Copies of this chain bind each other. A is one copy, B any other.
Amino acid sequence: MSPVITIKDVAREAGCGIATVSRVLNKSGAASAETRERVLDAATRLGFSFNELGRSLQSQRTRTIGCLVPSLVNPVFAEAVQDLQKEALGAGFQVLLACSNYDPALEADALRMLLAKRVDGIVLTLSSSAGNPALEHLRGQGLPLCMLYNSPVEGVPSAYVDNRRAAAQVAAEFARLGHRRVAFLALRFGASDRSHERYEGFRDGCLAAGLEAPELIEVDEAIRFEDVKLAQRLKGPGALTGVFASNDYLALSVIGALHDLGLSVPGDVSVVGFDGIDMGLAIRPRLATVVTDAREMGRSAAQTLIGMIDAQGAATDQPQNSQKSPQKTPSPELPGMAFSFRRAESLGPARGGGTDDGQAATSPPS
């Protein structure tokens, strides 16, 4: 409707050139107090605000960071993204968000679009990072990158937790409470590095603790309460006494399903999750789980990425003694983030087993 005000309109209104308007409004370059006044006045009177497209096209910077996550429905990502965004806004960056829905094709599409929109950098969670072609493409662009939740790949920093180590600790907890037959429940085992790592860590931990290798049970989307495969393994002779779900959301579903099967948690079966979402504390029994700090993860990724962007900008600004300096600001090496195991009611002694007890075991930042 209202015919969109441009810097030109402001210049005309203020009776000066557009360059002056730009200088005043951007506080770059000087201007007489009187001119400044006229410009400021004209700008507010017209309700002017910069068109970021023109600005970005000219400056080659968008002050926007791209963010790609598999899903927003998993609270872990919702929280991470939320704080990532808060952090970015604080530093003057916008966030362009995309969800891949765990689909590598969509991942590639989204990344392409993020590039086309010329974001200044990208924070991303990939189904599979090692040797991912889309990732390689991005690196080839020399675009600042920071991974989120993915284990770090050569040269790309990442805000992550050591899935293997954390999962191994879960195994130890099961062992401590006398469990002998446990299983790993995976949601998208084939399409998630993280799920894989957790399984491997858990398996290794089980073996190290003298347990049998855990069964690997794959389920799709939400667990169906009538899931035969699972039900079989939970009742009857030689039944499992413990289940480690690849994430909290899944764990919560399992607890509900067990209830429906007439099994009690942790009386009949213990359940442990991974992530530490709030909901795990809201229900009873509370969910035992590996607690990670999703918000901190998002914040950390944002800080790291913005640091890289700033460094890159600074490097371009002052070519200093740069003969042909590789231009490659070394990626900061983010340490793995802290996590802790939360002993809660959903994890109890195995039927007919059991040992000591305790409160909480926290692991140092790596």
Contact = CB atoms under 8 A, between A and B. Distances in A.
Interface centre among A1, A64, A141, A327 (most CB of B within 10 A): A1
A223 to B, nearest CB: 9
A50 to B, nearest CB: 6
Contacts of A175: none
A213 B112 CA distance: 56
A360 interface: no
Interface string A34-48: 000000000000000
A191 interface: no
A358 to B, nearest CB: 21
Interface string A204-222: 0000000000000000001
Contacts of A54: 57
A136 interface: no
A82 B75 contact: no
B94 A94 contact: no
B117 A52 contact: yes
Copies of this chain assembled into the complex: 2
Contact of A73 (B79, B95, B253, B283): B79
A115 interface: yes
Given A49-B112, A113-B94, A256-B283, A85 B57 contact: no
Contacts of A64: 117
A351 interface: no
Contact of A282 (B4, B72, B112, B253): B253
A235 to B, nearest CB: 18
A323 B283 CA distance: 63
A116 to B, nearest CB: 5
Place the interface of chain A in its size category. 35 or more
Nearest to A251: B282
Given A49-B115, A50-B116, A113-B94, A82 B86 contact: no
Nearest to A142: B1
B81 A72 contact: yes
A85 B96 CA distance: 12
Nearest to A62: B53
A82 B53 contact: no
A23 B47 CA distance: 37
A78 B86 contact: no
Contacts of A142: 1-2
A284 interface: yes
A238 interface: no
B82 A118 contact: no
B96 A141 contact: no
Given A1-B327, A49-B116, A86-B101, 11 more contacts: A4-B141, A49-B115, A51-B57, A53-B53, A53-B56, A53-B57, A53-B62, A64-B117, A72-B81, A256-B284, A259-B284
25 contacts: A2-B140, A50-B116, A51-B116, A52-B117, A53-B53, A53-B56, A57-B57, A71-B82, A72-B72, A72-B78, A72-B79, A72-B81, A75-B78, A85-B98, A85-B99, A94-B117, A95-B98, A96-B96, A222-B282, A252-B279, A252-B282, A253-B282, A256-B282, A256-B286, A283-B283
Interface of A: 1-2, 4, 49-54, 56-57, 62, 64, 71-73, 75, 78-79, 81-82, 85-86, 94-99, 101, 112-113, 115-118, 140-142, 222, 252-253, 255-256, 259, 278-279, 281-284, 286, 327-328
